[in-house]
Amino acid sequence: MFELVQLKEQRLAYFTDMWNIIDTSQFAIFVLLYITKMVSQFNNDTVIEIFMQGILLYQCFYKVFYFIRIYDSMAFILTLLVNICHEAIPFALFIVGILLGFVKIYALFHVGYDRNSI
């Protein structure tokens, strides 16, 4: 509703701001996808629908990251997530390496072999 009020007040000047264009196109794509899904009863996905879903998803992430950037309290959460990833990724890689090593050892000890081929 806020976007409609803003469009009514600003008229064509509303479309000079990139964020207004993103908001309008995001709403239009959502409405179009909703109508096509209701008509087809979710039976199939055409290439155009999949493409529009991708655009819609990209716009959603783009807006979320924009809001994270401009609000200081959200920037703290982003910084926290980056620090957690820096700590967790090496640990996760270590665990995966250990698991792969155990899998290899298990395979060596428990997989049968043909004695005639030795």
pLDDT digits (tens, 9 = 90+) for 15-46: 887 777 777 788 888 888 888 878 777 777 77
- The answer to whether residues 51 and 35 belong to one domain is yes
pTM of the entire predicted model: 0.46
**61 and 82 part of one domain:** no
Residue 3 contacts residue 21 (beta carbons within 8 Å):
no
Q: Are residues 91 and 64 in the same domain?
A: no
Burial of residue 83 (number of CB atoms within 10 Å: 0-12, 13-18, 19+): exposed
Same domain, 86 and 53: no
Q: Which domain holds residue 100?
A: 72-118
Residues 3, 40 within the same domain: yes
Verify that 31 and 88 share a domain, yes or no: no
User: What domain count does the chain have?
Assistant: 2
Q: What is the C-alpha separation between 48 and 54, in angstroms, rounded?
A: 10
pLDDT, tens digit, 9 for 90 and up, residues 56-105: 888 888 877 777 767 767 677 777 878 888 889 899 999 999 999 998 88
The alpha carbon torsion through 9, 11, 16, 22 (nearest 10 deg) reads 80
* Helix or strand holding residue 4 (H, E): helix 2-10
Looking at the fold, whether 77 and 64 belong to one and the same domain comes out as no
